[in-house]
């Protein structure tokens, strides 16, 4: 459609630093402003850079969100390596609780996570990104119920992640006093679902 100008790949350390600064700035702006209202100018300002600098490395806002999501995904993956081993001894209830707890902590540390997760186009463009965690989850489910096909376990993982997403958006909107109750309810719901799926 448009013949966009080529973006720079950082060659020096300061280039990489800049990218990191820009992403950190984007995290702040996105979490405070939401995706739509976030402006490239605002990101630049927050990073103490010029708009020009942003466009050296990113085509547009979507690209920034995408890079941030990729970063989050890598971090998430780091936390969940060996998910199966680490949770093997847990009951299904405990598994559900553990999963919810870790995800809650993650979004508290990275408040822009749900923003980029729900950003327009995320669904279509970043399926592969979401998939890493989904596949780790599916593996856990399959190891607990051998009768689940690969597709079935992926579907269970999909619903699980959707429940987390849904919880996250409510969590972000609710007052601090209500959050504990909300989280408990989601743990219960997830446990009920997983129990019915992993029994046997």
Partner DNA sequence: TTAGAATATGAGCAGGTGCTCACATTGTCA
Partner DNA sequence: TGACAATGTGAGCACCTGCTCATATTCTAA
The residues that touch a copy of itself, with contacts defined as CB under 8 A, are 34, 36, 120, 123-124, 155-156, 158-159, 162-163, 165-167, 169-170, 173, 181-182, 185-186, 188-189, 191-193, 195-197
Query: Rounded CA gap, 36 and 38, in Å?
Result: 5
Collapsing DSSP to helix, strand or coil, 9 comes out as coil
Query: Rg of the Cα trace of the chain?
Result: 19
Stretch that binds DNA, among 53-61, 134-142, 160-168, 176-184 (CB under 7 A): 53-61
CB of 8 to DNA, least distance (A): 5
Please say which residue, 15 or 111, places its beta carbon nearer to DNA.
15
Residue 1 interacting with DNA (CB under 7 A): no
3-class DSSP state for residue 8? coil
Answer left, alpha or beta for residue 149, where phi above 0 means left and psi between -120 and 50 means alpha. Answer: beta
Closest CA to 126 of 50, 68, 195, 166: 68
Rounded CA gap, 70 and 128, in Å? 10
With beta carbons less than 8 A apart as the criterion, state whether 64 and 42 touch. no
Member of 23, 53, 138, 194 binding DNA (CB under 7 A): 53
CA–CA separation, 197 vs 188, rounded Å?
A: 14
**Of 28, 40, 102, 170, the one binding DNA by CB under 7 A:** 40
Question: Which of a copy of itself, DNA, none does residue 162 bind to, with CB < 5 to 8 Å depending on kind?
Answer: a copy of itself
Is residue 51 a contact point for DNA (CB under 7 A)?
A: yes
Q: Which is nearer to a copy of itself, 50 or 162 (CB)?
A: 162
Where along the sequence are the contacts to DNA (CB under 7 A)? Answer: 4-5, 8-15, 18, 39-41, 49-53, 55-56, 59-61
């Amino acid at each position: 459609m448009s013949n966009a100008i080529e973006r720079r790949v950082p060659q020096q350390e300061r280039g990489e630093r800049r990218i990191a600064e820009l992403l950190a700035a984007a995290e702040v702006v996105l979490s405070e402003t939401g995706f739509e209202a976030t402006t490239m100018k605002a990101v630049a300002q927050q990073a103490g850079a010029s708009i020009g600098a942003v466009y050296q490395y990113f085509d547009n806002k979507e690209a920034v969100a995408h890079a941030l999501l990729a970063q989050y995904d890598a971090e998430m993956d780091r936390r969940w390596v060996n998910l199966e081993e680490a949770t093997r001894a847990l009951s299904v209830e405990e598994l559900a609780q553990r999963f919810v707890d870790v995800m809650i902590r993650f979004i508290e540390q990275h408040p822009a996570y749900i923003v980029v997760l729900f950003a327009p186009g995320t669904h279509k463009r970043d399926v592969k990104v979401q998939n890493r965690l989904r596949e780790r989850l599916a593996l856990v489910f399959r190891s607990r119920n051998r009768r689940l096909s690969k597709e079935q376990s992926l579907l269970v993982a999909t619903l699980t992640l959707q429940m987390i997403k849904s919880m996250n958006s409510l969590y972000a909107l609710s007052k601090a006093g209500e959050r504990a109750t909300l989280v408990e309810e989601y743990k219960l719901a997830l446990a009920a679902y997983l129990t019915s799926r992993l029994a046997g």
